[in-house]
Amino acid sequence: MGFIKISFICAFMVALSAVLLQKYSPSTVDTFLSDPTVQQLTIKCSTFLNGVGEKLKTNVYPMWLKVQPVLAPYVKVVNKQLSNIFGVVDDEAKGTSSKPIVDEESNAKGKEHESQPEKVFSVEELKNYDGKPGSKGLYLAFLGQVFDVKKGEKFYGPGGGYEFFAGRDASRAFVTGNFDGEGLTDDIAGMSDQDYLGIKTWIDFYHSDYKYVGKVEGRYYTASGEATQYQKDAERWIADAKKNKDKADEQYKIFPPCNTEWNQDRGTRVWCTKKSGGIERTWEGVPRRLFSAGQAKPRCACVKDFGAPLSPIGSNSASKKGRGDLDNPNLQEYPGCLPNSNECQVPKED
């Protein structure tokens, strides 16, 4: 992809993100996060922006990681359009997929590592692989796994935008964007599901693009290379985040997010169409407040108001057949809104 083309794409992404974040509710934006396409395009733009930063003697990568969560939501929306506008050919179509390795491949790699003797670095030993003059090489660790990033020396080596990752494990900083002091840590406990999904994308990325060379003794692995309880916990956190995302994705299909519009004089208006929330369907639905476990506030959902229900919850009422999902106990009507209206003016407290 040429310099002008990728620069225009990245600039277009930044501009469009501001528009989408103004037009869509946070619940709608959340549906586009952590998609593999999103992550791959942001990684490409990250590499591009870092290259520009190096030429300008400016470290732009920390800024990119901080704004990445903001940019990520809209990439899935525009990626198809980008292929039409710029002639970008999907790697899979060319038979040379650049997507991160899938879970089965990761497991295969893990078994291969277990069957072969491998290097286990101490934390102090790994510091000798920071790429500086006199160092033994250029390595970084992620989730306790060590990778040779020599081929990315202009990014990870001295003066590069990624140099603070060299010779250490700073897994947490990859998703928090905190590159100062305690922020550069391998401790990923207590993070959000979205962060754990980002962690999974990064470990897959390094297995896909860089050479695995061993493990680092400490939080994730013992001196003999055995997984610690913390490493097992980390795997569970990531797996749980994936399950929660799959569950949320399924809920979004049943209860698509509403379109939202805020006006200083009139407040917030919500309405439903056959494409609201970025989910195409054959029905429009009516706006309802949807209460979900673990969510502090309800979100606006478009609810099917005819025929058979899509959700199994509240579908056993024989006397109310033909009402779609309107009888779901997790739903509430908006005050002052007609029950069969496809748009509502939302009270300020909502």
pLDDT of residue 305: 94
- Distance from first CA to last CA of the chain, Å, rounded? 45
pLDDT of residue 48: 52
pLDDT of residue 267: 86
Domains and CATH numbers, the chain: 1-90 (no CATH), 100-247 (3.10.120.10), 255-346 (no CATH)
| CA–CA gap between residue 341 and residue 350 (Å, rounded) | 18
In the predicted model, residues of the chain with pLDDT beneath 50 are 1, 18, 21-23, 25-39, 50-102, 104-106, 110-114, 318-319, 350
Nearest to 231 by CA among 172, 183, 187: 187
| CA–CA gap between residue 328 and residue 309 (Å, rounded) | 9
pLDDT of residue 208: 94
Torsion of the alpha carbons at 197, 198, 199 and 203, rounded to the nearest 10: 110
User: Both tokens of residue 113?
Assistant: 């590592």
C-alpha distances in Å from residue 343, one per residue of 257, 280, 320, 325, 340: 13, 18, 23, 17, 9
In which region does residue 220 sit, left (phi positive, over 0), alpha (psi from -120 to 50) or beta (all else)? Answer: alpha
pLDDT of residue 349: 58
pLDDT of residue 77: 41
Q: What is the pLDDT of residues 51-110, one digit of tens each?
A: 444 333 333 444 444 444 444 444 444 443 433 333 333 333 333 333 333 354 445 554
Alpha helical stretches, state H, the chain: 3-23, 26-30, 36-55, 61-86, 103-115, 123-126, 153-156, 173-176, 193-209, 229-254
